[in-house]
């Protein structure tokens, strides 16, 4: 963290070309792994978890090194990242409703089937 | 006691105005805040897509290895490489090497344009098959009889908004490359932030839209 600089100075450690190149290679390797996993027959939920996990690692690499956030002040990181994570997690409250609407549709269909069967008798 | 008082004084000096407490300029802070809000837009879209997919009886998994997965993998390679060339452009900007800035940003634009061209070809494949924002191709309905027609809306909506961001980024980068000499180093860095963010969004769109809808049948 470049805290020791004088006020108003925006210089900070920028990282070397070698570092950026190795980050790029890592991103390509993780992408290759994702494409490979796309063709492995796994349980859908496990697959979703692994793919999102790998994508979060890739996003973190991009934000930390390409977007320089690792070399910025900690106060900036704390201003930007936690609120974003909390807001995205809050969006997950919709999923119980998503599963419920699927169950409801099946129940509705089966109950109408029963009714038609009863009226036929 | 005295150390606490000193620390209080230090904090008051830093955050009471007239300084840059984040050690970045206001324009860069503005771009970061825009990126946070745009990240929320894309998260909402991707979560909306997941909501629809989870509540549907059936969701088509139509993407064959060729052309869809090959194309989208090459598109990912294009965007990642364009991020690397953009980083090189920002490094050149730190050295105030204007020739190198132009060279790297033009390379970035070429990679970004390649992404858009490949994506439009990929869209054309799907549109020719009969996919629309609210219609599925007849062949898909035969394979997945209960498939949700929202597949097209989710696909074109999310990839379309992302492609719009890439296109906007190309214009932005072209302006930055043309005015490189007049701009400060931080302004070039800010355009880099935007470009890397567009790359970052694709890191989520690619697995969620493409890799989770892979067609396994040969």
The residue of chain B nearest to residue A89, with distances taken between CA atoms, is B43
Q: Which residue has the higher pLDDT, B37 or A120?
A: B37
CA dist list (Å): B161 to A36, A109, B50, B155, B202 = 27, 36, 17, 10, 11
As a whole number, the mean pLDDT across chain A is 83
**Residues of chain B found within 8 Å of residue A28, distances taken between Cβ atoms:** 77, 80
> How many other β-carbons are positioned within 10 Å of the β-carbon of residue B123?
16
- pLDDT tens, position by position, B53-110: 999 988 999 999 988 999 999 999 999 999 999 999 999 999 999 999 999 999 999 9
Percent of chain B with pLDDT over 70: 98
The residue among A58, A84, A89, A108 with the most chain B CBs within 10 A of its CB, best to mutate, is: A58
- Considering the domain boundaries, does residue A46 fall inside one? yes
Closest partner CB to B193 (pick from A41, A47, A67): A67
pLDDT of A2 reads 40
Cα–Cα distance measured from residue B45 to residue B51, given in angstroms and rounded to the nearest whole number: 10
The tally of domains found in chain A comes to 1
The answer to whether the beta carbons of residues B86 and B196 sit under 8 Å apart is yes
Cβ pair B202, B46 in contact under 8 A: no
**Total structural domains within chain B:** 1
Are the Cβ atoms of B24 and A72 closer than 8 angstroms? Answer: yes
Whether residue A3 is contained in a domain is answered as no
As a three-state string, the secondary structure of chain B is CHHHHHHHHHHHHHHCCCCCCCCCCHHHHHHHHHHHHHHHHHHHHHHHHHHHHHHCCECCCCECHHHHHHHHHHHHHHHHHHHHHHHHHHHHHHCCCHHHHHHHHHHHHHHHHHHHHHHHHHHHHHHHHCCCCCCCCHHHHHHCCCECCHHHHHHHHHHHHHHHHHHHHHHHHHHHHHCCCCCCHHHHHHHHHHHHHHHHHHHHHHHHHHHHHECCCC
pLDDT of B6 > 90? The answer is: no
CATH number (domain holding residue B190): 1.20.120.80
Does residue A79 lie within any of the structural domains? yes
User: How far is B63 from A39, CA to CA, in rounded Å?
Assistant: 12
- Enumerate residues 110 to 139 of chain B having a beta carbon within 8 A of any beta carbon in chain A: none
Per the domain annotation, does A1 fall within a domain?
no
DSSP-assigned letter for residue B56: S
For an interface test with A, the pick among B211, B217, B218 (most A C-beta atoms closer than 10 Å) comes out as: B211
Q: Is residue A2 assigned to a domain?
A: no
A71/chain B closest Cα distance in angstroms? 11
CB atoms < 10 A from the CB of B60, how many?
Answer: 21
For residue B193, what are its two tokens? Answer: 């932030």
Q: Residue B14 — pLDDT band, cuts 50, 70, 90?
A: confident
Closest partner residue to A55 among B39, B199, B207, by Cβ? B207
Measured between CB atoms, which of A7, A31, A44 is closest to B19?
A: A7
Print the domain residue range for A79.
17-120
User: Which residue from A10, A21, A39 is facing B24, i.e. has the nearest CB?
Assistant: A10
All residues of chain A having their beta carbon less than 8 Å from the beta carbon of residue B33 are 80
Both structure tokens of A45: 């939920």
Classify residue B20: in a domain, yes or no.
Answer: no
Interval B16-34: pLDDT, tens? 777 788 889 999 999 999 9
Instruction: Please tell me the distance in Å from B91's CA to the nearest CA on chain A.
Output: 8
Taking CA atoms, what residue in B is nearest to A80?
B36
Which residues, given as ranges, of chain A have pLDDT below 50? 1-11
Residue A19: both structure tokens together: 């570092």
E-strand ranges in chain B read none
* Domain annotation covers residue A36: yes
The answer as to whether B15 is a domain residue is no
**Residue A9: helix, strand or coil by DSSP?**
coil
What is the extent of the structural domain holding B101?
25-213
A11 domain-assigned: no
């Amino acid at each position: 963290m470049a805290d020791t600089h004088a006020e108003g100075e925006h210089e900070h450690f920028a990282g070397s070309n070698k570092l950026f190149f190795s980050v790029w290679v890592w991103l390509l390797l993780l992408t290759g792994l994702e494409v490979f996993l796309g063709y492995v027959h796994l349980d859908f939920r496990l697959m979703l978890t692994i793919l999102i996990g790998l994508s979060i690692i890739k996003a973190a690499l991009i934000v930390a090194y390409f977007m320089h956030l690792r070399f910025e002040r900690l106060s900036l990181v704390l201003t930007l990242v936690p609120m974003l994570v909390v807001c995205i997690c809050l969006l997950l409250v919709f999923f119980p409703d998503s599963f419920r609407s699927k169950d409801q549709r099946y129940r509705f269909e089966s109950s109408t089937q029963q009714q038609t069967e009863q009226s036929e008798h | 006691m005295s150390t606490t008082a000193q620390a209080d004084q230090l904090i008051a000096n830093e955050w009471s105005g007239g300084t840059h407490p984040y050690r970045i300029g206001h324009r860069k802070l503005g771009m970061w805040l825009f990126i946070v809000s745009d990240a929320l837009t894309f998260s909402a879209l991707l979560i909306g897509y997941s909501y629809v997919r989870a509540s549907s009886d059936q969701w088509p998994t139509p993407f064959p290895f060729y052309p869809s997965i090959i194309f989208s993998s090459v598109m990912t390679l294009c965007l990642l490489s364009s991020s690397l060339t953009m980083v090189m452009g920002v490094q050149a900007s730190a050295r105030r090497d204007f020739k190198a800035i132009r060279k790297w940003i033009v390379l970035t634009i070429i990679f970004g344009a390649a992404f858009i061209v490949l994506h439009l070809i990929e869209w054309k494949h799907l549109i020719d098959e009969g996919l629309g924002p609210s219609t599925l191709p007849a062949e898909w309905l035969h394979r997945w009889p209960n498939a949700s027609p929202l597949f097209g809306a989710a696909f074109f909506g999310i990839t379309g908004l992302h492609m719009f961001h890439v296109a906007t980024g190309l214009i932005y980068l072209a302006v930055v490359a043309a005015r490189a000499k007049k701009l400060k180093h931080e302004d070039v860095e800010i355009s880099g932030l935007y470009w890397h963010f567009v790359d970052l969004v694709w890191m989520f769109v690619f697995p969620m839209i493409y890799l989770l809808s892979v067609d396994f049948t040969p």
